Amino acid sequence: MKVLFAGPIAEAVVFDQAGPERALEILEAQGQDDFRKATEFVQLLSNMTFPLDQNDKSGKQKLIDELWEEAFELVDKLKDNIRSRAEAELEV
């Protein structure tokens, strides 16, 4: 699931627009299938993690927040590699 969030974050990093708001815009606009999948996976994980609290949005939001944070950390760790690969692709 983290990868579904990391894709738009990486795209924002490549164009020096990194930030949660921009990454979410990219995910919703250009990654609609990924956004739908991520939403479904979060719902499933939420149901398995908090089976008695299916109407409680706080558990689901906590999972989303954790996934975003982990995805940002992953992209931050790999941002130089991501940028260089993107630049190489743009040169071709």
Mean pLDDT of 10-14: 78
Looking at every residue in the chain, the average pLDDT score rounds to: 79
Number of domains in the chain: 1
Mean pLDDT of 74-80: 88
CA 77 to chain centre: 15
Which residues have C-beta within 8 Å of that of residue 26, sequence separation ≥ 6? Answer: 8, 11, 12
Give the span between the Cα atoms of 44 and 69, in whole angstroms.
Answer: 19
Domain holding 56, by residue range, is: 2-91
Average pLDDT over residues 19-46: 79
Q: What is the pLDDT of residue 18?
A: 62
DSSP assignment, residue 55? T
Comparing 55 with 14, which gets the higher pLDDT?
14
Instruction: List Cβ neighbours of 58 (8 Å cut-off, separation of 6 or more).
Output: none
pLDDT of residue 19: 67
